[in-house]
Structure 1
Amino acid sequence: MQVPASLLLDSPPQPPTVSQQKCRILYLGQRIHSRVLDLLSFILLEMKKTFYKCHFHLKNNQNPKKFSQYFLLVLTTEKRILIFSSSTSSLLIYFTFTNLNSTLDIKIDLAEIFLLIGPLFYRNHPASICGKVPVLRPMDLMVEATPRRVFANAHTYHINSISVNSDYETYMSADDLRINLWNFEITNQSFNIVDIKPANMEELTEVITAAEFHPHHCNSFVYSSSKGTIRLCDMRASALCDRHSKFFEEPEDPSNRSFFSEIISSISDVKFSHSGRYIMTRDYLTVKVWDLNMENRPIETYQVHDYLRSKLCSLYENDCIFDKFECVWNGSDSVIMTGSYNNFFRMFDRNTKRDVTLEASRENSKPRAILKPRKVCVGGKRRKDEISVDSLDFSKKILHTAWHPSENIIAVAATNNLYIFQDKVN
């Protein structure tokens, strides 16, 4: 995003001259205080080499029907959490002034129109010369994002997860070794609820990879580790949840043990189902669904791209084996979705046990275009509509996905493109 030079000046620029055919009232940027500019500068610098994650949080005193008009955007950079309030409004309008020789459009904020309309329009504008009255031309609704909170100085390592609690008053943030509990209204204090840092760092055997609150019980949360384990904790048990309530782990088959076993078993994402009954985890090759009442093994396992198992050595050399893929549920918890390479993403139907591979590309992003299933071929002859595993582009990957909570609308982030797909509409 290119910031207008006038927004970076300490003093406001001069009002637009009469000779300008089209101009904007740039010095309205005075209302963007220096702290906001500092925040934007911080974001631009930090986002160059950071992980960030967004959550939408509706304030508990807001009508859910007005969700599109007001919500909070919770965003993380490396070691800070930023909260923006976003609203949809038509604050900006155009005033059209007609002179004998030209027309001048000026964009102005209604909140400041009464403050600026006198000295700006009637001293320096041709409308004041020819005695013309400005004509109001309504604009489309615009989305505004305003920074509200900055939570910092609580994490030593990079934040990998944030999760808003069901009480809508607190949220937690997790890094490699600690999980902190925050209140939305308190920025300078957090409570450490999980700490796995050993006294001697040489004794460190695992790190925290993801964490999430239970969708209904505000006292429960789950976090995963790099060893492929999941821990369910209850904050009512103690202030520091150093002891878990439940421990989920699948025994490893000794016959499948290899150099890459520990790497590919590391969990990159963990998600509660909307019902709160199940937990879904994503490791490098599979998606697993766990029942909260059964800790010894998952009840469902889905192979995402098992054809890459023979290429783990090359994936290790180019660091792709450390990619962190996310996974999501649909609104009814009947279908799960996750990303893969070559801008492919996978969907698994839990009821019919069917799965499909789809591709997010510019060719498929045209309006009303129907996504065609793709298939990856391993060796031998392949059909015309199949793609060889050797021709996969590992630089194109879908790590982040999202599913609308009640409708069949999905969003996938493919490299630097965001694709939004909807179920077929008649």
Structure 2
Amino acid sequence: MFRLNNTIRIQGRRLYSTYEHLSAGKQALISHSGIYPKGFRASGVAALIKKNKNKDIALVVSELPCSGAAVFTTNKFQAAPVIVSKETLAQNKEALYAVVTNSGCANAVTGAQGLTDAKKMRSVMDELVQHPLSSLTMSTGVIGQNLPMDKIESGIREAYKCLSAEHDGGWMNAAEAYMTTDTFPKLRSGEFGLQGSKFRMAGIAKGAGMIHPNMATLLGFMVTDAYVKPELLQKALTYAVDRSFNSISIDGDMSTNDTISVLANGGSDVRIETEGSDYEEFRDRLTAFAVELAQLVVRDGEGATKFVTLHIKGGETFESAKKAASHISTSMLVKTALYGKDANWGRICASLGHSGIDIDPTKVSVTFVPTDGSNRLNLMVKGEPEKVDEDRASEILEMEDLIIEVDLGLGESETKFWTCDLTHEYVTINGDYRS
């Protein structure tokens, strides 16, 4: 092992030195390079909002005007940045320039002062980019505390000076500034072909606890250098979020601040202006990209030791299959059994039975599907319990990744939902979160 600048290299793999304490599995999830959309720059700085003095102000800024879209939390206690971003989009969907984010303070349940502060964050960005209603605002952290606006404003101005199109100098810094109880930055980028040309996409997400979106503390955004007409961008994002960020759960608790946004600046030759095959291809690419970011959130679930895919098949509708998956994912008994490596599949059936969807118990099948390609383990087939090989069940539950397949036997609809186990560490983290 040898050190190279602020990184280390272990067996040919470069790791950020600040993440050396993480497992090899989590270290492998950290991006060390990227292909980023044309015309966008990013930055992240420490404005000393957080007690630990980590980065806490993030900017992503476009040199070109962007069409914009967003999906927000349905929590009745919507945070000030959510309300202000909704107002911004209502007035400006075609000439946005930035997303400005702070971590360390959620600016939620902060009354009139919170709204004033969120608007101030936007107005500072308006001044810097020299365009009105230029930016979406996002905040994450402790609820019920006002933003330290002197630190916020100076931090935004400093971050603007530090904007960079580079991975290490810009995008990674921004991803780190999003983190609260996250253990690693969640950053992805890529280049894709469409219309005989190429477009690029990048995204950042944060979240590890208070995750059960319905649009936790969950924030995320994606940017692209394709041009996408605003109404089509909103339609594509809503579709993508339903199949990604709205299909994850860590602890069943929905945040006041959940926001997923997307900006498209038209810096490439790809243009999506009407519905059709090109729109659908872009939508599906956006969805796959959002799924990857959402899965990173689950893999970083507070205290989590398992990444679980709930594959619900045989539903009458997509909505009913998803409702079943969402309900099972929040069962404390299911989640603690997974942590204890106990193949107590009866808890899955019990949760399904009071999920609120119509089921026929004689048609339901439950199966453990190993992710290593080895044989599946049937637990119940069409309502009849199987004689379960407990040793084989234990082998499967030893794996970090697990697929639980539930076939409702009622139709052709299906969905996938991602969750994790519930551990002692989750209680420890959240028991002293404010301290």
Task: Give TM-score, length-normalised by structure 1.
Answer: 0.24
Structure with higher Rg: it is: 1
Choose between structure 1 and 2: higher strand proportion. 1
Choose between structure 1 and 2: higher helix proportion. 2
Task: Give TM-score, length-normalised by structure 2.
Answer: 0.23
